[in-house]
Amino acid sequence: MGHGLSCSRDGDEHDFFRAAQAGDVDALDALLAADPALARRATIYDRLTALHVAAANGCLPAVDMLLARAVRPDVVDRRKRTPLMLAATHGHIDCALALLRAGANILMFDSVNARTCLHHAAYYGHADCLRAILAAARTTPVADSWGFVRFVNVRDEHGATPLHVAARQGRPECVHLLLESGAIVSAPTGSYGFPGSTALHLAARGGSLECVRELLAWGADRVHRDSAGRIAYSVAMKRGHGACAALLNPAAAEPMVWPSPLKFIGELGADARALLEAALAEANREREKKILKGTKYSDTSSPALTDAGAGDDGDEVDDQEDEEVCSICFEQACSIEVEDCGHRMCAACTLALCCHSKPNPATLTLQPPACPFCRSCISRLVVADSKAKAVAVPGAGDETEAEEKPASPRLSRRRSRRSREGSSSFKGLSSAMGSLSSKIGRGSGRLAGDGDGAFLDKLEHDLP
Ligand SMILES: [Zn+2]
Ligand SMILES: [Zn+2]
């Protein structure tokens, strides 16, 4: 064995790391009772502590037990990785949450590429871990000392942000979460990927159509050039990713862009946001169909994230017949309400209204749109469903008024079904996200030869 410094290690220590690896809490407990110092020991070569081993293997009871014995959550191994980084790498959300609750520092950098736990979660596509770390970043001292948005855009030693690595590895759900949290869509890397690449270049290189879609919908610039003067389109062409290239072609129709500069868009409730995001995905899917029509990629349907609602085709249950039809398009049900005046319209029309004007490129500000019915300035949008609204805004005074508005056209059964593609899309979206993350979650930890198998081998090698 190469790292043969192990002769002096005693049998108890060997048993201790074995127990941490196997999640044998009883054995851990007995060994720690006999020798409490074991909790802080590390393996000889990789300097992994039992907390690292338990976090990497997803053994929550062992993680809890070690933390309860005052093991520091931020202990580092030989490569300066924290247990939280290992939990994020392997997608063990419960262990990650336990470590975060114990005060794990999210702003530690490993010595491999100077990456943080946020990079690791994004790289391996563990959106649940990414979400938990982002939530912690909003409340921990990081938000005060660094600022939340700066943390979201933290760079590794090659200039790669979590968004860059997620785009390169084809992790659309992580790309989405990061963009939503303030990741700068057009930031170029340093030397990561090809010098000066943006996330769009990296998604084009990786051939992830879903990441390309996400980035375009957040305003990624198709004509941004990397240091070699290439736009993302040429990168996709060179790599043979034809469908990506078709969307990235600057000559193709412009995608609809999420109106993030609008203040009230940043303040949307989760349900209203999901409706508008689904409307955006739907609008862009239509555009995509036109672009790909007649090419060999025309069948490239989006399997998950942006395809929410498509799975509803077989769902014929009609339990809501009396939805109010949108008086702008007379197509879909009113799902969004302008809270200020109580006027309602469908998500697609609301979105079209918000995306109507382009942001001022210098200031990135948008003029807030006016309500198309009364011309009052929109400052807050909510879901039009009166039940949902009663929960979301208890005691809002205009509710009875809204319900007693002059009779609006009522939807036919068919219409009502069609329209609920919007309202059910939140469920569709989250279930699609769920299956996506579990799909990604399974295998992805193994990508860098650091998967469970390799991990165990290493440990085996490392132990006496
Ligand atoms: Zn409409
Ligand atoms: Zn109005």
In a domain, 26, yes or no: no
Q: Give the per-residue pLDDT at 137.
A: 94
Mean of pLDDT over the chain: 79
Distance 276 CA to ligand 1 centre (A): 12
* CA 261 to ligand 2 center in whole angstroms: 21
Other C-beta atoms closer than 10 Å to the C-beta of 80 total 15
* CATH number of the domain to which 343 belongs: 3.30.40.10
Amino acid 201: pLDDT: 97
Q: At 325, is the secondary structure helix, strand, or coil?
A: strand
User: Percent of the chain, pLDDT > 70?
Assistant: 73
Helices (H) and strands (E) in the chain, counts: 24, 3
Å from CA of 241 to ligand 1 middle: 35
Query: Is residue 193 in a domain?
Result: no
* Range 316-332 average pLDDT: 72
- Residue-range definition of the domain harbouring residue 401: 265-431
Separation of 342 CA from ligand 2 center, angstroms? 6
* Distance from residue 371's CA to the centre of ligand 2 (Å): 5
Going from the Cα of 288 to the center of ligand 1, the distance in angstroms, rounded, reads 21
Buried b (16+ CB within 10 A) or exposed e, 387-413: ebbeebbeeeeeeeebeeeeeeeebee
Residue 143 buriedness (CB in 10 A; 0-12 / 13-18 / 19+): middle
The tens digit of pLDDT for each residue in 40-72 reads: 889 888 999 999 999 999 999 999 999 998 899
pLDDT at residue 383 is higher than 70: yes
Q: How close is the Cα of 80 to the center of ligand 2, in Å? A: 56
Task: Find where tokens 């074995």 sit.
Answer: 18
Closest ligand to residue 373's CA: 2
pLDDT of residue 187: 93
User: How many distinct structural domains can be found in the chain?
Assistant: 1
DSSP, res 286:
H
Query: Whose atoms come closest to the Cα of 380: which ligand?
Result: 2
The verdict on residue 336 lying in a domain is yes
Any idea which ligand is nearest the CA of 353?
A: 1
Q: How much distance in Å is there from the Cα of 378 to the middle of ligand 2?
A: 8
Ligand number nearest CA of 402 is 2
Q: What is the pLDDT of residue 432?
A: 35
Ligand 2 centroid to Cα of residue 377, in Å, is: 8
Residue 464: is its pLDDT beyond 70? no
Ligand 2 centroid to Cα of residue 415, in Å, is 24
Q: What mean pLDDT is predicted for residues 263-290? A: 91
pLDDT at 1: 36
- Determine the average pLDDT of the residues in 346-363: 79
Q: Which ligand is nearest to the CA of 343?
A: 2
Residue at 283 is within a domain:
yes
pLDDT exceeds 60 at position 325: yes
Residue (of 178, 99, 82) closest to 134 by Cα position: 178
Ligand nearest to the CA of 350: 1
Listed in sequence order, the DSSP H helices in 108-208 are: 117-123, 127-139, 141-145, 148-152, 162-169, 172-180, 199-206
Per-residue tokens: 284: 């862009």
Cβ count near 260 (within 10 Å): 18
Token pair of 259 as six digits: 């109106």
- Please state whether 393 falls in left (phi above 0), alpha (psi between -120 and 50) or beta: beta
Tokens at residue 75, please? Answer: 């202990």
CA torsion sign for 107, 110, 114, 116 is negative
Q: How far is the CA of 370 from the centre of ligand 2 (A)?
A: 8
H or E stretch including 345? strand 344-345
Ligand nearest to the CA of 377: 2
- Looking at beta carbons, which pairs linking 221-224 to residues 24 or more positions away fall under 8 Å? 221/186, 222/248, 222/249, 222/250, 223/250, 224/186, 224/188, 224/198, 224/200
Ion ligand 2 neighbours (CB, 5 A) are 341, 343, 371, 373-374
CB-based contacts of 273, cutoff 8 Å, min separation 6? none
Q: Is residue 406 one of the residues assigned to a domain? A: yes
